[in-house]
Structure 1
Amino acid sequence: MTSFADLPTFTKLPDHTQLPESDGTFVKNFLEHPQSVLLTDSIEPILQQRHADGQYCIGQDSGIYWRMTDPPQRGAEAPDWFYVANVPPTINGESRRSYVLWQELIAPLIVLEFVSGDGSQERDTTPWTGKFWIYEQVIRPAFYGIYEVTKASVEVYHLIENQYLPVPTNDRGHYPISQLGVELGIWQGQYQNLDIPWLRWWDNQGTLLLTGHETAAQTQRQLTQAESQLEQAESQLERERQRTERLVAQLRAQGIDPEA
């Protein structure tokens, strides 16, 4: 296990305002942004419930600085998505530009990488340079997920005794993230005009966590269904009223008082 004691010492370590917030490269594919938004949008209600004080942050393709290098970007990893509990969403009233471990000292709970190539970078265990090694030995998120849309798959690792061990799927084929009370898995469906195997959250009962748009659409469907059922009930009542009026008229035609 590598600690900050093994890293070079500096008289004054830079903070997130002094470190680059981008390495100047393009996003690797069109999928990264909508996939990140989908994950964030659907889990926000869970996080807001767990953090009534608002003390948490989510990073999307943002740098996690773990050591000082020249240039500074070489000492950072930029997961496609990560979540950190019990830290403020801003620092000194400013939005975060990156996540600096020597400033925060709290590791992310979960880091997710979206594979663009063959997945070798995300599984690279080479000391000091491989992503898998850096996450396991230095950044040390409790969970590390590798999502491959081309294979419609995700694999999740849990840090146990300083080593990443594969998390087995449950009977729904999902990976439980016990600290959050959620599950991670693959969902085939349409989102932002793309019908692909998306990486998504479920609650621990197996119910899909919806985005705000999906929740609004579901509410609208339920409202439309309720209105339709009400119209059907009113129509049935009207038919019953008309039938009763016909029966009353027939009785009176036969000289029978309906009231009697």
Structure 2
Amino acid sequence: MTILPSALFLPDHLQLPESDGTFVKNFQEHPQSLLLTDSIAPHLQRLHPDGQYCIGQDSGIYWRLPTPPEPLYRGAESPDWFFVPGVPPNLKGQFRRSYVLWQEIVSPLIVLEFVSGSGEEERDRTPFRGKFWVYEQAIRVPFYSIYEVEKASVEVYHLVEGQYALLAPNERSHFPIGPMAVELGLWQGTYQNVELPWLRWWDLEGNLLLTGDERAAQKEALLVQERERAEREQARAEQERERAERERERAEQLAARLRELGIDPS
């Protein structure tokens, strides 16, 4: 039996650095990642009832061994958000410190980058160094999205025959991600007390995938509507009962009057 060299010599996620020491670039990035994860979680649970998938947020994806003497060839990228289907949520019972391709084998299905500067870094096609090149040629991610909050814009690229092709939005200005059965697009609204054109998910029918708070608020609104409907039905039933009572009283008064006149009411 042949033993792969990687199983013997290459480091795993516990031996590689889990951080490059850089700060998150702005206050919007963390809530944006939470919004994406929170809203798509129930959908992914239905799509993967076996629970075999994982989500990374500002976590490293190692595609080659890092080479400390050559800092520009670090061998890893840290997307702001990415999704991998068909892998366990934990690795051998341990939380992942990073996603190591020679250990995991399966590439992410989609990576999302949130632009804080000019966007040049996210579109850099320099071999072995540029993010665009690494996602396209090294990691080979099927879908790559670049989100620029300041410009209220989003681009989605699809890997076709080894090259990224820019996707066109559909009639809802969303980008369908077929394998995930969702659409990606911009939503103008307030999340965590900040109004922005947030990056969000919809289902393929154009229904917004809601966060836990939104689902709870929707459920509460439906309960209020149901309670108000029940109260209206109760009020109508009471009005009908009172009407029937008045009709009965009038009928009894008429019968009594007829009897006074010597007429049999029946």
TM over 0.5: yes
Q: Which residue of 2 aligns with 1:44?
A: 41
**Aligned twin of 1:175:** 175
Counterpart in the other structure of 1:59: 56
Map 1:1-260 → 2, pairs under 5 A: 12-71=9-68, 74-255=74-255
Q: Greater shift after overlay, 200-209 or 247-256?
A: 247-256
SS of corresponding position for 1:146: strand
> SS of 2:196's equivalent?
strand
Q: Distance in 1 between matches of 2:97 and 2:75?
A: 15
CA-to-partner distance for each residue in 1:166-212, whole Å, 9 max, x for gaps? 01111111001011111000011111111110101111111111112
Deviates more, 1:208-217 or 1:158-167: 208-217
* Percent of aligned pairs with the same amino acid: 62
- 1:247 CA drift (Å): 2.3
How big is each residue's C-alpha offset from its partner over 1:124-163, in whole Å with a ceiling of 9 and x where there is no partner? 1111111111111101110000001111111000000110
The alpha-carbon deviation at position 248 of structure 1 amounts to 1.9
Task: Give TM-score, length-normalised by structure 2.
Answer: 0.90
Q: Distance in 2 between matches of 1:176 and 1:217?
A: 27
After TM superposition, give the deviation of residue 10 of structure 1 in Å. 11
- Please tell me the residue identity of whatever aligns with 2:189: G
Please give the alpha-carbon distance, in whole angstroms, between the structure 2 residues aligned to 1:118 and 1:241: 71
How far the C-alpha of 1:13 sits from its partner, in A, is: 0.8
In structure 2, distance between residues paired with 1:84 and 1:214? 25
Aligned residues: 251
**Which range is displaced more, 19-28 or 140-149?**
19-28
The code of the aligned residue for 2:227 comes to E
State the secondary structure of the residue aligned to 2:168: coil
Match of 2:37, as an amino acid? T
Q: Which moved more, 1:244-253 or 1:36-45?
A: 244-253
C-alpha change, 1:11 and 1:237, in structure 2 (3 Å) is: closer
- Superposed displacement of residue 117, structure 1: 0.6
After superposition, what is the alpha-carbon deviation per residue over 1:190-248, rounded to whole angstroms, capped at 9, x for unaligned? 11111110101111111111112111110110011000011011011111211221222
Distance 2:236 2:9 in 1: 78
In 2, the alpha carbon distance for the partners of 1:69 and 1:84 equals: 22
The offset of 1:249, in angstroms, is 1.7
- Give 3-state SS (helix, strand or coil) of 2:255's partner: coil
Between the aligned partners of 1:95 and 1:77, the Cα distance in structure 2 is 19
One-letter code of the match for 2:140?
A: R
Q: Which has the larger radius of gyration?
A: 2
Q: After superposition, what is the alpha-carbon deviation per residue over 1:84-105, rounded to whole angstroms, capped at 9, x for unaligned?
A: 1111111121100100111112
1:253 to partner: Cα distance: 2.2
Distance across 1 between alignment mates of 2:121 and 2:57: 18
Structure 2, gaps ≥5 residues long: 1-5, 259-264
Name the SS of the counterpart of 2:240 in structure 1.
helix
Flag structure 1 segments of 5+ consecutive residues without an equivalent: 1-8
Q: SS state of the match for residue 16, structure 1?
A: coil
